[in-house]
Amino acid sequence: MAASRAARLAPVIEMAEKAEQEAARLLGQGQTQLNQAEAKLGELEQYFSDYQQQWMQQGSQGVSGQWLMNYQRFLSQLESAIGQQQRSVNWYRDNLKKLRQQWHQRHARVEGLSKLVESYQKEARIAADKREQKLLDEYAQRLSGRAREQ
């Protein structure tokens, strides 16, 4: 009986394992997306820093009003892009946190089902051992009864 309960859970475990694997795949994909977004943010920040350095060099030599306006406009656009990319990174971090929680839940479900199946299998082994012992005891009793009769 316990063995059949364990066998009936096999499709449930298979579905739970597939769900866990899918969650793991999505978690990996989310980590990759976060890494890419962080790298892009780093590039934008580095570009911003480089551009500021260029201003320091140009500014010490003197610049035209037009160059200064273009510089400020470009810097403003770059700051806007950095802000947007930072929001993107934050979104990917939040998403990764959710994906990690989802994977943990699905992993815990697989672990719980596996433990349940193990307990059913253990019950089945114990029941089988008891049946076998009972049969052996009955057989031994019959043999000893026959030996007394002879």
Is 147's pLDDT higher than 70? no
CATH code of 32's domain: 1.10.287.1700
Which whole number is the average pLDDT over 30-41?
98
* 28 residue type, one letter: G
- Taking the C-alpha atoms of residue 112 and residue 118, their distance in angstroms, rounded to an integer, is 10
The predicted pLDDT at position 73 comes to 92
* 141 residue type, one letter: Q
Name residue, tokens 């899918």: 22
Which whole number is the average pLDDT over 22-27?
97
Is 115's pLDDT higher than 90? yes
Q: Is the dihedral of CA 99, 100, 103, 109 positive or negative?
A: negative
pLDDT band at 108 (very low <50, low <70, confident <90, very high): very high
Provide the residue range defining the domain that includes 97: 2-149
Q: Does the pTM exceed 0.75?
A: no
Q: How does pLDDT run across 64-86, given as a tens digit for each residue?
A: 888 888 888 999 999 999 999 99
Is 149's pLDDT higher than 80? no
- Taking the C-alpha atoms of residue 128 and residue 106, their distance in angstroms, rounded to an integer, is 33
Tally of domains in the chain: 1
Question: SS3 breakdown of the chain: % helix, strand, coil, rounded to 5?
Answer: 95, 0, 5
Is 118's pLDDT higher than 80? yes
The predicted pLDDT at position 37 comes to 98
Nearest to 44 by CA among 70, 77, 81: 81
* 111 residue type, one letter: E
Mean pLDDT of the chain: 90
CB-based contacts of 89, cutoff 8 Å, min separation 6: 34, 37, 38, 41
